[in-house]
């Protein structure tokens, strides 16, 4: 059961469809590293997607997760995502998905992992 609050992703410009050169497996690996302390990220991702009722796809999720089309910093996108997560916890920008208290970045990442 998904409860509560998700960010309004419609305001974010969707990035172009994931490049054919994008290695989905690398993306999954990075997401798994980012979500290492999340219990059941697939289940959480499913709840997040159910709350959006099919209105969201992998491209939009990745755009939302990255927040910016700028290239990833040294250390890669996982570092960027972790920085974003830390900022969100500091600023109390949390969401509740399936009862779990998450940074918004984590909720989006779980959903993306589920979609891939």
Partner 1 sequence: MLIDFRQLDSGATLDAELCIIGAGAAGIAIAREFAGSGVRVLLVESGGLEFEKKTQDLYNGPSTGFKTKPMDESRLRYFGGTTNHWTGRCGVLDEMDFETRAWLPLSGWPIRKADLVPFYRRAAKVCELDEYGFDETTWQRFEKTTPDFERTKIRPFFWQYSPPTLFGGVYRAQLVGAKNLRILLHANVTEIVSNEDGSAVTHLELRTMDGKRGRATAKQFVLACGGIENPRLLLASDRFQRGGLGNRHDLVGRFLSDHPAALSGLLVSKTPPLVATNPVRNGVTYLPGYRLGDETQKRKEVLSACAYFTDDAGYSDLFLKRDWPGKLPDHAIRSFIVCFVEQPLDRASRVFLSGKRDAIGQRRAGLDWKNGEREKRAIKTLMLLLGAEFARLGIGRVKLAKWLIWDESYWGMEGGDHFMCTTRMSDDPKTGVVDKHCRLFGVSNLHVAGSSVFSATGYINPTLTIVALALRLADRLKSKFG
Q: Phi first, then psi: give them for residue 8, nearest 5 degrees.
A: -85, 105
Query: How far is Cα 18 from Cα 74, in angstroms, rounded to an integer?
Result: 21
Query: How far is Cα 99 from Cα 101, in angstroms, rounded to an integer?
Result: 7
Q: Which is nearer to partner 1, 26 or 101 (CB)?
A: 101
Given 37, 54, 69, 71, the residue binding partner 1 (CB under 8 A): 37
Given 23, 40, 68, 76, the residue binding partner 1 (CB under 8 A): 40
Is 3 one of the binding residues for partner 1 (CB under 8 A)?
Answer: yes
Q: Which is nearer to partner 1, 23 or 40 (CB)?
A: 40
């Amino acid at each position: 059961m998904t409860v509560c609050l998700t960010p309004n992703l419609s305001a974010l410009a969707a990035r172009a469809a994931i490049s054919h050169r994008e290695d989905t497996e690398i993306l999954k690996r990075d997401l798994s590293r980012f979500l290492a302390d999340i219990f059941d990220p697939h289940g959480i991702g499913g709840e997040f997607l159910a709350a959006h009722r099919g209105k969201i796809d992998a491209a939009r999720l990745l755009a939302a997760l990255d927040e910016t089309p700028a290239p990833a910093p040294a250390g890669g996108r996982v570092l960027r995502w972790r920085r974003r997560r830390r900022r969100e916890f500091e600023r109390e920008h949390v969401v509740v998905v399936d009862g779990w208290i998450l940074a918004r970045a984590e909720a989006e990442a779980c959903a993306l992992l589920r979609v891939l």
